[in-house]
């Protein structure tokens, strides 16, 4: 696919990335896929999957404290980068899927903003992180947001696709903060909360701050995806 998809004239709030940067990302699509797959591998390691067993165990970190049945809902950021890698690869292969691109958009926007949000809100609690790691986490997640805002070039955000993404990330919010189903809430561990042995104690108000950010960002992603759909349809229909 050598020709870049058209760039419709959409409002800045749904298409804030400069055209040159959008075009560059689309031209370097396979590099974008590779970088996101590397980010996925790093993210699973960060959450506690250690295939080389450098720490002496295959499963460590937060994954070791979570019920196995809930593992798919714990490593949110690496799952989000996996979604965007799969969405971009599918487009390049001529097999673009609206539901997959919607999942990628929600993941990039939600996790790309939620992580910097908690890094700032709980900055003093993250003092254990080396400054290089802190900045890497902060800026790499904001880069996810940039990626998400390029996806309107390869998708229309049809209602069905948005519904799939809202179901996945809405359910994530439920089990992460409100009804864990198995064990305790499963959101990414925030150091402002407490660890008792191998269990997380979801301390107030840290838990509520983390939940508020997640829910607001799920709503924001839903609004922006549907607003993109509406604005694209308005352009097609004309004045």
Q: How far, in Å, CA of 41 to CA of 140, rounded?
A: 14
Q: How far, in Å, CA of 152 to CA of 10, rounded?
A: 10
pLDDT, position 17: 97
pLDDT, position 72: 93
Read off the pLDDT of residues 143-190 as tens digits, 9 standing for 90 and up.
999 999 999 999 999 999 999 999 999 999 999 999 999 988 999 888
Between 37 and 237, the higher pLDDT residue: 37
pLDDT, position 19: 96
Question: Helix, strand or coil for residue 77?
Answer: helix
Query: What kind and span of H or E run contains 194?
Result: strand 194-196
Residue 81's nearest CA partner among 101, 108, 63 is: 108
Separation in Å, CA 219 to CA 17, 92, 106, 234: 21, 29, 10, 22
Read off the pLDDT of residues 190-228 as tens digits, 9 standing for 90 and up.
888 876 656 677 888 989 999 999 999 999 999 999 999
Q: In percent, how much of the chain has pLDDT > 90?
A: 78
pLDDT, position 1: 44
Question: Helix, strand or coil for residue 59?
Answer: strand
pLDDT, position 102: 98
Question: Helix, strand or coil for residue 225?
Answer: helix
Segment 86-112 shows an average pLDDT of 97
Paired tokens of 149: 């805002």
């Amino acid at each position: 696919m050598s020709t870049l998809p058209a760039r419709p004239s959409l409002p800045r709030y749904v298409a804030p990335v400069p055209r040159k940067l959008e075009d560059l990302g689309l031209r370097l699509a396979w590099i974008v896929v590779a970088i996101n797959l590397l980010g996925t591998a790093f993210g699973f390691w960060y959450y506690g999957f250690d295939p080389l067993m450098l720490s002496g165990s295959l499963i460590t970190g937060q994954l070791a404290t979570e019920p196995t049945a809930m593992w798919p809902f714990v490593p949110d950021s690496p799952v989000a980068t996996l979604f965007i890698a799969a969405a971009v690869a599918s487009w390049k292969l001529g097999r673009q899927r609206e539901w997959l691109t919607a999942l990628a958009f929600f993941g990039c926007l939600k996790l790309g903003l939620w992580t910097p949000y908690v890094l700032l809100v709980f900055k003093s609690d993250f003092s254990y992180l080396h400054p290089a790691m802190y900045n890497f986490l902060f800026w790499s997640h904001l880069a996810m947001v940039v990626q998400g805002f390029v996806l309107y070039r390869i998708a229309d955000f049809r209602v069905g696709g948005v519904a799939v993404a809202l179901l996945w990330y809405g359910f994530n919010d439920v089990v992460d903060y409100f009804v864990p189903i198995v064990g305790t809430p499963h959101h990414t561990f925030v150091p402002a909360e407490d660890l008792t042995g191998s269990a997380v104690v979801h301390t107030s108000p840290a838990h509520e701050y983390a939940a508020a950010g997640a829910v607001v960002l799920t709503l924001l992603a839903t609004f922006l995806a549907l607003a993109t759909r509406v604005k694209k349809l308005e352009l097609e229909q004309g004045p």
